[in-house]
Amino acid sequence: MKIGFIGLGNMGAPMAANLAKAGHEVSGFDLAAPCPDGVSKAATAAEAATGQDVVITMLPNGAILKSVAAEILPVMQSGAVLLDCSTVEVDAARAVAADCAAMGLGFLDAPVSGGVGGAAGGTLTFMVGGDDAAFATATPLFDIMGQKAVHCGPAGNGQAAKICNNMILGVTMIATCEAFALADKLGLDRQAMFDVVSTSSGYSWSMNAYCPAPGVGPSSPADNNYQPGFASELMLKDLRLSQAAAEAADADTPMGAAAAALYATFVEDEDGKGRDFSAMLPRFEKRGHS
Ligand code: NAD
């Protein structure tokens, strides 16, 4: 396939490189980052998008997605698919989808989980919104960049799935960390805490697969001085997206709101920026009840 790839940052560069390695013809553009091996460098986003079967975007936020879409939609060939893999507002995805439909283009929102390791290893999970025809076009590309693509319904539903998942993740990570800090103060050994909770009703991905306590459970960023992994500021971004969506949809999400507020404090007023989101545990360790 002929592919345009716009946004060659931490995630986009390895994803584009994997597509090129698999034999696709990839033209890349980024405002700042260099092109990875095998990807030919375009001078502008419009140049990268011209004449392609699929144009993939992997950008920081919805405002940038909209401005890039305004630049590339008019030059994309009729019937081509815009595949946005960024994490953005549900409303931004649906707005770009409507613009694509009006211009005879396909659109998929396909945010990912799996992080930089998953992007490099081609093991991402894609949560996909959009119509069946566009999903069929993109499926061979999902197979190269990832291990699983779940079609969640019409445009915007991929973003909906992503932010709901990460709202659960943020809340359970905080709950797991505060429970460890309480267990410490009650004199409960961390290994015993893990052995009980990971096989009892408090288990979760945060405890079982990504344990925030160093030296306990499987290897995780806690064992590497809380180097990300998944940085706290990225968790904050996703929690804010879930709160914006909850407000727009009039949904009551008190735990999500509390998690967003706590990660905002951690990232903006404390030492959370650049640390893994599981570094909530050392944060709680240092604090008392009030
Ligand atoms: P990044 O900041 O490393 O990459 C974004 C790239 O977009 C940068 O290289 C930047 O120069 C480029 N860019 C910005 N504006 C542009 C424009 N107008 N035209 C062309 N290029 C432009 O971010 P990332 O970590 O690669 O994340 C990308 C997206 O993936 C985000 O939406 C993020 O939330 C999501 N995501 C990231 C992770 C992760 O672990 N990093 C995991 C899941 C999802």
Q: Which of 5, 8, 10, 112 to mutate to test the pocket of ligand 1 (most atoms within 8 A of CB)?
A: 10
Burial 252-270 (b: 16+ CB within 10 A, else e): ebeebbebbebbbebbeee
Work out the burial of residue 55: count CB atoms within 10 Å of its CB; fewer than 13 is exposed, 13-18 middle, 19 or more buried.
buried
> Percentage helix, strand, coil, to 5, in the chain?
50, 15, 35
Q: What is the pLDDT of residues 153-193, one digit of tens each?
A: 999 999 999 999 999 999 999 999 999 999 999 999 999 99
What's the pTM value of the predicted model, to 2 decimals? Answer: 0.95
pLDDT given for residue 70 in this prediction: 98
Whether omega before 229 lies within 30 degrees of 0, making that bond cis, reads: yes
CA-nearest residue, atom 29 of ligand 1: 86
**pLDDT classification of 194: cutoffs 50, 70, 90:** very high
Counting ligand 1 atoms within 8 A of each CB, the residue from 8, 18, 44, 59 with the most, and so the one to mutate, is 59
